[in-house]
Amino acid sequence: MFKNISIIGDGAMGTILAILLCEKIAGSGQRTADSKKKANSKYAKRSVRMWGYDAKQLKQIEAGGENKKFLPGYKLPASLMFEPDDKRIMAGADLIVSAVPCQFIRRIWNRLKDYVPKNVPIVSVAKGIENDTLLRPTQILAEILEQELKTQNLKLKTAVLSGPTIADELARKLPATACVACEDEQLARDVQHTFSAPWLRVYTNTDIIGVELAAACKNIIAIAAGIIDGLGAGDNAKAALLSRGLAEITRLGVACGAKPQTFAGLAGLGDLVTTCISPKGRNRSFGERIGKGQTVEQAQKATESVIEGIATCESVAALGRRYNVEMPITSAVYEVLFENKGVQTAIADLMKRSLKAE
């Protein structure tokens, strides 16, 4: 199990993983005025450190002992250390967690790349596809970081942690599951043991392509699910959306080299169901506002957090065209988001498509 972990990103998922890891590795307990001093001394050999793009915001989180913007209501453990310095956050780490939204990975890691320790694994928890390049999160990391490693005959070690993991429920320690995907099965097991807890059961998987694509695509289906909720279109429509949405996600995944069974697992069906039914899901809530009559711009402004499904919809639609994969639901969501198509018209067009076998 890893003992010195650096978390890049101070959003909801980065924060809840910091809490989990502190309890396992560095000890828990309430923050006090001298928490920073204790953390730097007592836990020098077993540490969890957090870095944020905005040093001022990171300082506010540390001072308040709570991430009021992204995970309000949950006190941070005394052992959690905050490090705004780009170089120091990497020093001594034996595992790095990349917990920044997909569309910001390139900007963040271009800033940090000169300080990344060689041969230290990076676990990505981002869910999305980069717009301009159509790369998955681990592909973006590899493009940025592998050039220097190749000169030393080293390869970047990456893994993906994904699944039905709503941050608020994780923070409440409600029973949950996730999977860690990695081609290196030993690294997958090491990460599995590091993140597993009495309330979080982590499985291993070797299909990084499938896990990352499933994680990205489900946000598009979640927007559609929210639209159905906003319209009051009913449970039959929601069930049809989930089953046919999973079918088109699987088609794309297989075309990209993923294993079809991955999409029936935690990263696929599991995450899809949770994202589409949870009232707290950002993408579903965004879609619900549109279903109730708000414009895309109005629905965006009502949400502080990044709505990954918007940018991902562009990327996945482009991937579908690249691989000649039919993705009618993704196309319909794209038309609503980017071509000002009415939601009722989009649904009607889906329903009157030519009949075919399931």
CB atoms within 10 A of CB 232: 9
How many alpha carbons fall within 13 Å on the CB side of residue 212?
28
Q: What is the C-alpha R_g of the chain?
A: 20
Closest CA to 356 of 255, 227, 248: 248
Provide the CA 132 distance to its chain's centre, in angstroms: 19
CA distances in angstroms from 342 to 234, 276, 293, 327, listed in the order given? 18, 21, 10, 19
CB 315 within 8 A of CB 130: yes
DSSP-derived secondary structure letter, 205: E
Backbone φ, ψ for residue 69 (5° rounding): -80, -45
- Residue from 193, 305, 212 nearest 256 by CA: 212
Task: Look up residue 166 and give its amino acid.
Answer: I
Closest to 70 (Cα-Cα) out of 10, 9, 8: 10
Q: Are 198 and 170 in contact (CB under 8 A)?
A: no
Please give the DSSP secondary-structure letter assigned to residue 72.
Answer: E
Residue carrying the six token digits 């992204």:
70
CA dihedral for 166, 188, 147, 119, sign (positive or negative): positive
197, with CB counted inside 10 A (0-12, 13-18, 19+), is middle
* Catalytic position from the list 59, 113, 155, 218: 218
In 3D, which of 163, 100, 98, 102 has the Cα closest to residue 131?
A: 102
Cα(350)–Cα(53) distance, rounded to whole angstroms? 41
Does 218 participate in catalysis according to the annotation?
A: yes
Q: Residues 314, 321: contact at Cβ < 8 Å?
A: no
Provide the total of helices (H) and of strands (E) in the chain, helices listed first: 15, 10
Q: Read out DSSP for 49-85?
A: EEE-S-HHHHHHHHHHTEETTTEEEEEPBTTEEE---
Catalytic residues: 218
